[in-house]
Amino acid sequence: MANLPNVVILGDYECALRRYSDWSKVDQLCKLQIYQHPLEGEALYQSAKDADVVILVRDRTPLDAALIARLPKLKLLMFTGKRNSTLDVAALKARGIPIACTPGGPSKDSTAELTWALILGASKNLLHQNTLMQSGGWRDELSVLPMLSGERLGLIGLGAIGSAVAKVGIAFGMEVVVWSPNMTAERAAAQNVRSVSLNELLKTSKVVSLHLVAGPSTKGLIGAEQLALMRPDALLVNTARSALINMADLQEALKRGRPAQAALDVFETEPLPKEDSLRNNPTLLLTPHLGFVAEPIFKAFSEGITSTLEAWFTQQTIPYPFEA
């Protein structure tokens, strides 16, 4: 074992990777260390400093140029899924370090499912209803619930996830409208929805759900000005990226009652700190970034990692090279 290469996997918070593929050959080819808790600063460096291969689960562990420069033994960088927003690809390329990824699995489908779990859970006040039943109660004044049928669903983004969310909204009898920076009436009509301005979407939608990729042009897209346009009975849902919303503005807007509620699966810092004020806001329904946390997805991640490591250590072509 002394001369075997070192492989470090960072961010397996669910302790899932070992469960979903056969690691027996990998265990013979390398010394493997899997970290199942968040690491940063010097602790992160110490975990990776002797690694020949570093593998990142999603974009949970930032790997910037400064840290990459401190990893002289690094020969291969890999991440799960098809995209990583916290990786300095240029720094790796400058050193000629190849980058691999894995299949993403049905992550778009699972995120669409979670979006609707949040919409239904928040709009039907399910947490309160469950607490009421567990405490021996029955219906109360909070049990007179709104319906989604006949209401407007506003989607900010109409990619694969937004389109899947739209289909369910239509099935529920909602009017679905959409906006994105490059939306056209023709694209919207192809999904049986209607394109409107962002202001109209915010002003008129009972539910607003975000489905854009976060980038320089969309960071902070939803701030105080946009939140103030929303209906006082509206629900804002974000299963995309936290950077799309100015979170300080959202907390202030919720205090003012416009929108009435928000349901969030993504956060600026993950895991969300225990003392974060978001945890104690009764107008928020929160889930711990579950959009992609599903068995078929982690199976794709796990099998992608093992097949890549087996190929790499036997001098075969890696199956899933990343092309920036």
Secondary structure (3-state) at 300: helix
Query: Does residue 37 contact residue 60 with C-beta atoms inside 8 Å?
Result: no
Q: Over the stretch 24-34, which tens digit does the pLDDT of each residue have?
A: 999 999 999 99
| Structural domain boundaries, residue 76 | 6-106+294-313
Is residue 85, in this structure, part of any structural domain at all?
yes
Same domain, 102 and 115: no
Domain annotation covers residue 216: yes
Q: Would you say residue 2 has pLDDT above 80?
A: no
Main-chain phi, psi angles of 76, to 5 degrees: -150, 135
For residues 170 and 217, membership in a common domain is answered with: yes
The arithmetic mean of pLDDT across residues 279-308, rounded, is: 97
CATH classification of the domain holding 74: 3.40.50.720
Residue whose structure tokens are 């199942």: 36
Respond yes or no: is residue 270 known to be catalytic: yes
Residue 211 bears catalytic tag: no
Report whether 9 contacts 47 (CB < 8 A): no
Of 267, 265, 146, nearest to 207 by C-alpha is 146
Indicate if 98 and 19 belong to the same structural domain. yes
Tell me if 23 is assigned to some domain: yes
User: Is 231 among the residues known to form the active site?
Assistant: no
Residue 57 is assigned to a structural domain of this protein:
yes
Give residue 215's pLDDT: 87
Q: Are 245 and 216 in contact (CB under 8 A)?
A: no
Q: Average pLDDT in the 298-321 region?
A: 97
Judgement on whether residues 255 and 142 belong to the same structural domain of the protein = yes
Q: What three-state secondary structure class fits 264?
A: strand
Q: What's residue 77's pLDDT? A: 98
pLDDT at 1 over 60: no
How large is the average pLDDT for residues 203-214? 96
Distance separating alpha carbons of residues 228 and 254, to the nearest angstrom? 10
Over residues 102-112, the mean pLDDT reads: 97
Q: Is residue 323 part of a domain?
A: no
Q: How confident is the model at residue 323 (pLDDT cuts 50, 70, 90)?
A: confident
Q: pTM here?
A: 0.92
User: Based on the domain organization, do 137 and 197 belong to the same domain?
Assistant: yes
67 and 205 belong to one structural domain: no
Name residue, tokens 């989604």. 148
Mean pLDDT of 266-287: 95
Q: What angle do CA 166, 167, 168 make, to 5 degrees?
A: 90
Mean pLDDT (the chain, rounded) = 96
Same-domain check for residues 97 and 162: no
CA distance to 63, 118, 180, 289, per residue, from 265 (Å): 23, 9, 21, 5
| 189 and 262 fall within a common domain | yes
Q: Got the DSSP string for 170-194? A: HHTT-EEEEE-TT--HHHHHHTT-E
Q: Alpha-carbon distance 40 to 203, whole Å?
A: 41
Cβ neighbours of residue 32 under 8 Å, at least 6 residues apart? 7, 9, 23, 26
Look up tokens 């190929």; give the residue. Answer: 311
The Cα 238–Cα 263 span in angstroms is 6
pLDDT 10s digits, 144-183: 999 999 999 999 999 999 999 999 999 999 999 999 999 9
Flag whether 14 is in a domain.
yes
Q: Which residues of 242-267 are buried (b: 16+ CB within 10 A; e: fewer)?
A: bbbbbbebbeebbeeeebbbbbbbbb
322 within a domain of the structure (yes/no): no
Select which of 270, 279, 295, 310 is catalytic: 270
Output 173-177 pairs: Cβ under 8 A, ≥24 positions apart.
Answer: 173/148, 173/149, 174/148, 174/149, 174/150, 174/207, 175/150, 175/151, 176/152, 177/152, 177/153, 177/201, 177/204, 177/205
* Residue 164 and residue 233 share a domain: yes
Q: Is the link from the previous residue into 259 a cis peptide, with omega within 30 of 0?
A: yes
Same domain membership, residue 167 and residue 272: yes
Together in a domain, 73 and 111: no
**Active-site residue identified among 211, 231, 241, 303:** 241
**Is the same domain home to 125 and 222?**
yes
pLDDT digits (tens, 9 = 90+) for 56-106: 999 999 999 999 999 999 999 999 999 898 999 999 999 999 999 999 999
CB 12 within 8 A of CB 34: yes
Q: Which of 151, 289, 303, 310 is catalytic?
A: 289
Q: Give the total number of structural domains in the chain.
A: 2
The residue written with tokens 């090279």 in the block is 321
CA 196/CA 320 separation, integer angstroms: 39
Q: Is residue 195 assigned to a domain?
A: yes
